[in-house]
Amino acid sequence: MYRRAYALLVGTALAMGLWAIITALILDKRLVDPEGSFLGPSWLRLPLLLTGALLLDLLPRSLWFGKGHPVAMVQVARERLRSHWNRERLTLVVLGIVSFYVTYVCYRNLKSFLPFMIETKYDRELHLLDRALFFGNDPAIVLHGLLGTDVVAYLLSYIYLWFLPLVPLALTAWLVWSRNMSYGYWFVTSQCIAWSLGTLSYYALPTLGPGLEYVSLYADLAQTPTNDLMDSLVSSRQGVILGGLTGQVQSVAGFASLHTAITLLVALLVQYTLRSKVLKIVFWVNFAITVVATLYFGWHYVADDLAGIMIALVAFYVGGLATGQKFDHGGLASHPTTTTSRIPVSKD
C-alpha cells in the first residue's frame, strides 16, 4: 500500500548515506554531525525532534480547547491522539523526519568533502555567462545600482536568512498537520530529492560563488547578517581545508542554488496543497525575493538559480508521482488527489 512512497523516500536517504560513507572512506575522513552539540548527539536528537513534533500539536490544542482545566486538557489530548495520531500519522512523522535528517546530514558532509574530491572550479565560466546575460555588466552591480546598497540590503538579508528556520518549520507543518496524508509524503519526499539533486550539482560543476571569487563587486554593501554569515562560512572553509577545525564542516558550494530550489519547492507545494491565497502570495514573493538576494549578495550566479529552479520542478514532479498526485499534460498538478490508493488519508 505504501510501496512507492516508502521506496523513494527511504531509498533516497539510503543512497545519500551510502554516497557519504564511501566518500568518507576514500578521503579517510569521518562523518560529522553538522549541527555540533545542539540538542546533544544524533541518537538523542531524533527522539527529541519526534517528541517535539508531537508536543507541538498536542499542547497548544489542549491548552486552548481545555481552557486551562487539567481534566479537560487531558480529554482533548486523548481525543487528538485517537483521531489524529493514528498509526498512519506516526509512520509518516517518524519516517519523514528520520529520512530527511539522514539526507540532510549526508548533504552537509558531502558538501564539506567537495574541496578534497575536486579541485577544479568553474567560477570564471559562470561569471562570463553572467556578464553575457547582462550585456557586459555584472548582475550584482546592476542590482546594487537599482536597489541601493543600504536599506534594501537589510531587507534582502533577513528574507534570505529566513530560509534557515523555514525548512524545519515547513517540514514539521506538512508532516504533522496535513489533512491529506499524501501531501505530507509529497512534501518530505520532494525535499529529500531536492537536497540530493543539489548535492549532485555541487560535484557536477564545483564553484565558490561570485561573493567569494569576486569579492570587490560587493565591497560597497552595508554590513548585514548575510555578510556576517558569508564571512563565517569562509572562515570555516579555510579551517576545514587547512585542517585546523576538526568535527566541523565547510559549507561553501555555488552551483546549484538550493535557496532557490527549496523556496520554489515550498511555494509550489503551498500553491497545490493549501487553500489560503494569502499564504500562496507570501511564499511566491519569498521565492522571488530570495532569487534576487542570491545575486545581490553574491551567493550565486544566474546559472545557479536556473539550475535550482530545475531541481525544484523535478523534485516536485517526481515526489508527486510517487505519492499518487494527479498532473496535467503541462506538468504541474492542477487538481491534486484528495485520496490515493497508495498513501492513507487522515480522517480528521
DSSP percent split of the chain into helix, strand, coil, nearest 5: 70, 0, 30
Residue 243 and residue 43: Cα distance in Å, rounded?
Answer: 27
* The pTM of the whole model exceeds 0.75: yes
Mean pLDDT (the chain, rounded): 85
The yes-or-no verdict on residue 334 having pLDDT over 60 is no
Cα torsion through 40, 45, 49, 55, rounded to 10: -60
Amino acid at 147: L
Cα dihedral 188/193/198/199 (nearest 10) = 100
- List C-alpha distances in Å: 105 to 19, 42, 285, 333: 12, 10, 29, 30
The answer to whether 289 and 151 are in contact (CB under 8 A) is no
What cell does 95 get? Answer: 519516517
**Could you tell me the sign of the dihedral formed by the alpha carbons of 229, 246, 36, 304, in that order?**
positive
Confidence tier at 39 by pLDDT (50, 70, 90):
very low
Q: Is the pLDDT of residue 330 over 50?
A: no
CA 200 to the chain's CA centroid: 15
Grid coordinates belonging to 48: 527529541
Going by C-alpha positions, the residue among 342, 10, 35, 16 that lies closest to residue 167 is: 35
Element (H or E) spanning 284, and its range? helix 277-296
Residue-level pLDDT at 332: 47
How far apart CA 305 and CA 314 sit, in angstroms, is: 14
CA angle 62, 65, 66 (to 5 degrees): 65
Q: Which of 21-25, 195-199, 321-325 has the lowest mean pLDDT?
A: 321-325
Q: pLDDT higher for 115 or 248?
A: 115
- Among 24-38, 64-78, 277-291, where is mean pLDDT lowest? 24-38
Q: Which of 7-16, 49-58, 282-291 has the lowest mean pLDDT?
A: 49-58
Cell numbers placing 107 = 548533504
Can you read off the three cell numbers belonging to residue 319?
A: 515526489
- Exposure string (b/e) for 283-308, b if CB count within 10 Å is 16 or more? bbebbebbbbbbbbbbbbbbbbbbbb
The residue type of 51 is: T
Helix (H) or strand (E) holding 219: none
Q: Are 67 and 44 spatial neighbours (Cβ–Cβ below 8 Å)?
A: no
Between the alpha carbon of residue 283 and those of residues 215, 264, 289, 310, 335, the distances in Å are 30, 8, 10, 18, 20
